[in-house]
Amino acid sequence: MAREKVEEYIEIIYELEKNNKIANTGKIASKLEIKPGSVTEFLQKLEKMGLIEYEPYYGVKLTSKGEKLAKNLERKHRILAKFFFEVLGVDKEIAERDACEIEHHVSKETIEKLIEFIENIKGRKK
């Protein structure tokens, strides 16, 4: 199972939980622009991985393991977007879109180095 696909689902579920409290198959399918049946099949796989609790006809809830992954992805996204926008001067919308693509492929080590770099740049600007 592709890590990027798993992460995409986890991000959507996390976002829906934050905004609506319930992430259901229909809302997830709408966000992904796919059929609800395809979503159901994948949710069952995520449940087997221990990332979600899935209750058919009701919805999905992230487990603590799933929430940890979601928060890690959110953090990566924020750091990348900030770097592209504030340090490199990339248009904010493009920075957000690029961060969304790259967050699935960048290592924890690279993110930590980016944080160091951003902090060093801020220190020099003072």
Domains, the chain, ranges and CATH?
3-62 (1.10.10.10), 70-125 (1.10.60)
Reported pTM: 0.85
pLDDT along the chain (126 residues), means of 10: 88 91 89 91 95 91 96 93 92 94 89 88 68
User: Which of 78, 61, 49, 77 has its CA nearest to residue 21?
Assistant: 61
* pLDDT score recorded for residue 1: 59
* pLDDT score recorded for residue 62: 96
* pLDDT score recorded for residue 126: 56
* pLDDT score recorded for residue 91: 96
